[in-house]
Amino acid sequence: MKNLIIFGILGFIALSCTQNQPAENAAVEELYDYDVEERVASMGITLTDPPAPVANYVNSVRTGNLVFMAGKGPSKPEGGYVAGKLGADLTIEEGYEAGRLVAIAQLSALKAEIGDLNKVVRIVKVLGMVNSAPDFGDQPEVVNGFSDTMVEVFGDRGKHARAAVGMGALPRNIAIEVEMIVEVQD
pLDDT digits (tens, 9 = 90+) for 49-79: 998 898 999 999 999 999 999 999 999 999 9
- Asked whether residue 128 carries a pLDDT value surpassing 70, the answer given is yes
- Asked whether residue 81 carries a pLDDT value surpassing 90, the answer given is yes
Question: What are the residues facing 77 on neighbouring strands?
Answer: none
pLDDT for the residue numbered 23: 39
Burial of 176: CB neighbours in 10 Å, binned 0-12, 13-18, 19+: buried
In order of their start, the domains of the chain are: 36-184 (3.30.1330.40)
Q: Which residues contact 53 (CB under 8 A, 6 or more apart)?
A: 59, 70
pLDDT for the residue numbered 2: 53
- Asked whether residue 127 carries a pLDDT value surpassing 80, the answer given is yes
Euclidean distance between the first and final Cα of the chain, in Å? 45
pLDDT for the residue numbered 28: 53
Q: Which residues of 3-40 are buried (b: 16+ CB within 10 A; e: fewer)?
A: eeeeeeeeeeeeeeeeeeeeeeeeeeeebeeeebbebb
Full DSSP string of the chain? -HHHHHHHHHHHHHHHHHHTSPPTTPPPPP--SS-HHHHHHHTT----PPPPPSSS--SEEEETTEEEEEEE--B-TTSSB-BS-BTTTB-HHHHHHHHHHHHHHHHHHHHHHHS-GGGEEEEEEEEEEEEB-TT---HHHHHHHHHHHHHHHHGGGG--EEEEEEES--GGGBSEEEEEEEEE--
